[in-house]
Amino acid sequence: MAENAEPQITPISIEVRPTAGQATEQYADIALAGLFNTHVAIVNSERQAIWQRYNVMLVGNAVIFAFLSGGMRTKTETALGVLFGLLLCTAWWVITASGWNLLAMRIQRGLQFGWQGLPLDANPFEVSLTYGRGSIGGMIYYVAFSVIALFISGYVIILGGLLRP
C-alpha cells in the first residue's frame, strides 16, 4: 500500500442493542459513548506506537552510524554495517508507513460517530483528520519519512565510498 493512499473504509452502521428487554435512551447513550471511547483509546495507542517504533529505529540507526564512524573499519565491517543499516531503514520505512495507514483507517472509523445537535468538529476525529491533511499535519508525516530517507542517503554515500577504487 502506498504511504499516501487513503485507506478504503467500508461504511458500517453502528447499532447498539440493549441486553435487557427494555431499550432506554440512556442505555444507548452509554453504550455508544463506551464504543466511542474504545475507538479513542485505540487511536491514541496507535499514535504512541508509531512514535515508539520510530524512536527505536532512530536510535538503532544512530548506533550503526556511530559504529561506522568510530575508528578504522575494514571494508567488510563497513559493508556489513551499511547493509544492516539499509535493511533497518527499509523495515523502519515499512512499519512507519503501516502505522500511519492504520492510524488513518482508525480515524476514518471514528468519524462514523455523530451526535444530533452537535457540530461535526465536536467529534475529535474530524479535527485529527483535518489537521492531518493540513500543512502542519502533513509536514509531520513528510518530515518523518525525510529523516528515514536521510539515513538511507548516508548509507548509500558510505557504500559509494567503499565501491570507489
Q: What is the pLDDT of residues 90-110, one digit of tens each?
A: 999 999 999 999 988 888 888
Q: What is the pLDDT of residues 50-74, one digit of tens each?
A: 999 999 999 999 999 999 888 788 8
**Residue in 140, 141, 139, 147 with CA at minimum distance from that of residue 57:** 147
Residue 68 falls within a domain, yes or no?
Answer: yes
User: Mapped to the 3 state alphabet, what secondary structure does the chain carry?
Assistant: CCCCCCCCCCCCCCCCCCCCCCCCHHHHHHHHHHHHHHHHHHHHHHHHHHHHHHHHHHHHHHHHHHHHHCCCCCHHHHHHHHHHHHHHHHHHHHHHHHHHHHHHHHHHHHCCCCCCCCCHHHCHHHHHHHHHHCHHHHHHHHHHHHHHHHHHHHHHHHHHHHHCC
The residue range of the domain holding 105 is 25-163
pLDDT at 1: 45
CA dihedral over 156, 162, 163, 165, signed as positive or negative = positive
> Using CA atoms, how far apart are residues 115 and 92, in angstroms rounded to an integer?
39
pLDDT at 132: 61
Opening angle at CA 155, ends 76 and 47, nearest 5? 125
**How many domains, in total, are found in the chain?**
1
Residue 1 falls within a domain, yes or no?
Answer: no
Residue 140 falls within a domain, yes or no?
Answer: yes
* Spans of the chain, pLDDT less than 50: 1, 16
Residue 7 falls within a domain, yes or no?
Answer: no
* CB distance 34 to 94 below 8 Å: no
Cell match 527499509: residue? 90
Residue 4 falls within a domain, yes or no?
Answer: no
pLDDT at 108: 84
Residue 5 falls within a domain, yes or no?
Answer: no
Residue 136 falls within a domain, yes or no?
Answer: yes
> Using CA atoms, how far apart are residues 98 and 115, in angstroms rounded to an integer?
31
pTM of the model: 0.75
Residue 37 falls within a domain, yes or no?
Answer: yes
